[in-house]
Structure 1
Amino acid sequence: MRIVSLLPGTTEIVCALGLGNHLVAVTHECDYPPEVRGLPVVTRSMLEQDESSSAEIDAAIRERARNELSIYQLDMGLIEALQPDVILTQALCDVCAVPLRQVEAAVASGTAQVLSFEPTSLAGIFGSIKAIGRALGAPERAEALVDDLAARVERVRARAAQATYRPRVACLEWLDPVFGPGHWTPELVAIAGGQPVLGVAGERSQRVSWTDVIACAPEVIIAMPCGFSLERAVAEATAILPQRAGWYALPAVRAGNVFAVDGNAYFSRPGPRVVDSLELLAELIHPNLFAGWGPQHAAIALR
C-alpha cells in the first residue's frame, strides 16, 4: 500500500500504527517521527511565515481568504508520479492544511482513495485513529493504540480528581490578534483539572478581545500559537503579551503561572500526541499532582 499523508496528525497516526514504511510522501509540516523528514514533500505554504509576526501572518491569511486563494500549493505532478493508493487529508481547517476540496479537485482523474478526517474532540481523534487503522488494514493495531491512549487519559482524569481547586485556565491559540482555545483543547483543560475559559469544547477557535481576557481573570495562562515551535511561542509571547493593558494585574501573571508551549508538536495536531498534550497541561495546571508527567522540553515558564 502506498500512502500520501497531507496532515502532520495523520502522518503521526500512520507511524504509530507501525505503517510508516508505506508512506511515500508527506507535507512540508510533517516532522514527527523524525524518519518522515526524509520523505518526498508534496505541499508548500504560499505564505512567508518564518520572519513574519503573528499579526502579519493573520493579515496575510485573511487577505488570501478574501480573494478565495488557498494558503497551500499541492504538487500534483509528484503525487501522480508516486501513484498512491490512499491519500489522507482533512476538512477541519483550511488554515492548518490543504483543504479537502482542493485535494479532491486535484486527484479527480486518479485512482487514489481520498480519506478525510475532521475530529473536533478527543473521542473524534480516537475515532480517526480507528478509521485509519481499518482503512489501512490494521484495525487491531488501531484498537490497541486507542486503548492505551484512553487508559492514559483516565489516569490523568483520576489523579486530577484529587485536586481541591480547579483554576481558571486561558489557552491562547494565537496572540495577535488573540484567539481562545477550540476543538479538543478546552476538553483537555477540564480533564486536567482546570476550568477552561475563552473557548468552548468542540467549537472552532474564535478571536476574543483583550477585554475578554481581563474579564475572565485567568489563574493560568498558556500561550500555544497554532503551528509555532516552543522557541517561537516564547519569543512571540514575551514580545506581545506584556504590552497589553492590565497584563501585570492578571492573577496568572502575579502568581508566575504563565507558560509558552510547543503548540506545533502537541496541541495543534489531532493525533496520538494529543494525550502528551493532556499530560503536559495537567503538569502546568497542577504541578504538585503531576510533576514529571508531561513531555520534557515542551514548555517554558515566562517570568
Structure 2
Amino acid sequence: MPRLTAVLTAVLLLAACGESEPTQQPSVVDDLGRQVVAGGTPQRLVSLAPGTTEMLFAAGLGDRLVGVTDADDYPEAVSGIARIQALPLNHEAVVALQPDLVFASDQINDPRDAEALSAVGIPTYFVSVQSIPDLPRGIRALGARFGSADAANAYADSLERTLAELDTRREEFGDTLSTIFLIGDETLFSFGPESYVHDMIAIAGGRSLTADLDTEAPILSEEFVLAAAPDVILTAFDPDPARLLALHPAWSTVPAIRNGRVHMIPADEVLRAGPRIVAGTRSMSEAIQRRSRSR
C-alpha cells in the first residue's frame, strides 16, 4: 500500500505540473484607480472626449487613434480620423472601429458606456484632470503605460516650464484679484468645487469666488455676482459690456464692469480638460494682470 500511494502521488503531481495555468492578460490602472486589461500595447485607440484626444496627442499616441468624437477639431491631425457620436455614445460605431482600447473623460463620459463596451470585450481607460498638476502627470502616465514615454515626458516638461513661468509672473505681480468665470451671460453657469479652473485663476493672479460653492456646476444668481463684487470677470463668450448691463442693470456698480475688466478666454482653452488649459491659464494671466495695472 505505501508503494501504491507513492506511485499515485507521483502521477498526480506530474499531472498537476502538466496543467497550464490561465494566461493573465496585462493590465494598467487608469486615473480612477480601475484595473484595465489593455492586452499588451494597444494599437487601435478611440477617444470619447476632445480634451482626452488632446491628451493622447500630447503623450505621443495620436497616430494610434482610429476614432474620435464628432466634436473634435484639435489638433489638425484629427481631421483624417473617423468620427463617432459620443453624447449619447453610439456604441455600434465604436465596436465597428475594432479598438484595442477606448479612452474616456471622467468629467464628460458616462461610466455605463464603459460597462457596455466591456460587455463586448472592449476595455475603457478613464482620464481625469481635476487640477493643473494632473495635466503633466496624466500625460507622463499615458506615455509610460502605452509605450511613448519619451514624447510624453518632453511634452509634460514643456507644460511644467510654462506653468513655472506663469507662477513667477504671479509672484512678481504681487496682487490677488477676486475673479468670477462665467460660461453664459443670461444663464450664469460657472464652476463649483474641485474644478481645475480655480487652479487656472490662482496661477493667473486671481482668487476664484466660486471655489467654495457646494454645487458642482453652479448657476449663479444676479445677486450673487453683485454681492461678490469681483475685480475681474472672465467669460467663455465675447463680452459685450452694454449687453451685460442690459441683461443685469444692477451690475453697474460691480468693479469688473465699472473698470472694464471683463475678458474673454477662448472656450476650448478652458472647457476642454486637456493640455490647452495651460494656454488658457496664460490668457487669464495676461487679462488679470494687464487690466489690474490700470486701476
Q: What per-residue deviation string (whole Å, max 9, x for no partner) do you get for residues 105-153 of structure 1?
A: 1x13333321012221112233322232233211232222222211111
Aligned match of 2:223: 211
- Equivalent-residue separation in structure 2 for 1:285 and 1:201 (angstroms): 22
- Work out which of the residue numbers 253, 257, 260 in structure 2 matches 1:253: 257
281 and 80 in structure 1: CA distance in 2 versus 1, 3 angstrom threshold: same
Q: Tell whether the 8 Å contact from 1:198 to 1:212 is kept in structure 2 after alignment.
A: no
Partner SS state of residue 267, structure 1: helix
Aligned match of 1:104: 115
For residues 7-46 of structure 1, what are the structure 2 equivalents within 5 Å? 7-43=49-85
- Equivalent-residue separation in structure 1 for 2:156 and 2:256 (angstroms): 34
Q: What per-residue deviation string (whole Å, max 9, x for no partner) do you get for residues 142-197 of structure 1?
A: 22222221111111011111114322111113444323334011111111111221
Partner SS state of residue 84, structure 1: coil
Aligned match of 1:139: 149
1:83 aligns with 2:98: yes
Q: Tell whether the 8 Å contact from 1:17 to 1:138 is kept in structure 2 after alignment.
A: yes
Aligned match of 2:235: 223
Structure showing greater radius of gyration is 2
148 and 158 in structure 1: CA distance in 2 versus 1, 3 angstrom threshold: same
- Equivalent-residue separation in structure 2 for 1:126 and 1:210 (angstroms): 37
- Equivalent-residue separation in structure 1 for 2:135 and 2:168 (angstroms): 21
Q: Tell whether the 8 Å contact from 1:241 to 1:247 is kept in structure 2 after alignment.
A: yes
- Equivalent-residue separation in structure 2 for 1:196 and 1:235 (angstroms): 19
- Equivalent-residue separation in structure 1 for 2:134 and 2:165 (angstroms): 19
Aligned match of 1:190: 202
Amino acid at match of 1:11: T
Q: What per-residue deviation string (whole Å, max 9, x for no partner) do you get for residues 191-210 of structure 1?
A: 11112212349983322222
22 and 203 in structure 1: CA distance in 2 versus 1, 3 angstrom threshold: farther
Partner SS state of residue 171, structure 1: strand
Aligned match of 2:288: 285
- Work out which of the residue numbers 181, 188, 193 in structure 2 matches 1:178: 188
Q: Percent identity?
A: 28
Q: What per-residue deviation string (whole Å, max 9, x for no partner) do you get for residues 16-42 of structure 1?
A: 233222110100111100221332111
- Work out which of the residue numbers 273, 278, 284 in structure 1 matches 2:276: 273
The alpha carbon displacement at 1:258 in A equals 0.8
251 and 127 in structure 1: CA distance in 2 versus 1, 3 angstrom threshold: same
The number of equivalent residue pairs is: 249
- Equivalent-residue separation in structure 2 for 1:191 and 1:239 (angstroms): 29
10 and 201 in structure 1: CA distance in 2 versus 1, 3 angstrom threshold: farther
- Equivalent-residue separation in structure 2 for 1:201 and 1:127 (angstroms): 27
Aligned match of 1:49: none
Q: Tell whether the 8 Å contact from 2:245 to 2:252 is kept in structure 1 after alignment.
A: no
100 and 238 in structure 1: CA distance in 2 versus 1, 3 angstrom threshold: farther
Q: What per-residue deviation string (whole Å, max 9, x for no partner) do you get for residues 16-73 of structure 1?
A: 23322211010011110022133211115xxxxxxxxxxxxxxxxxxxxxxxxxxx23
Structure 2 unpaired stretches of 5+: 1-42
Q: Tell whether the 8 Å contact from 2:204 to 2:284 is kept in structure 1 after alignment.
A: yes
Structure 1 unpaired stretches of 5+: 45-71, 225-232, 291-303
131 and 241 in structure 1: CA distance in 2 versus 1, 3 angstrom threshold: farther
1:167 aligns with 2:161: no
Q: Tell whether the 8 Å contact from 1:120 to 1:202 is kept in structure 2 after alignment.
A: no
Aligned match of 2:136: 126
Partner SS state of residue 198, structure 2: helix
Amino acid at match of 2:187: P
- Equivalent-residue separation in structure 1 for 2:58 and 2:214 (angstroms): 25
- Equivalent-residue separation in structure 2 for 1:15 and 1:90 (angstroms): 15
Partner SS state of residue 273, structure 2: coil
- Equivalent-residue separation in structure 2 for 1:220 and 1:237 (angstroms): 13
- Equivalent-residue separation in structure 2 for 1:248 and 1:271 (angstroms): 35
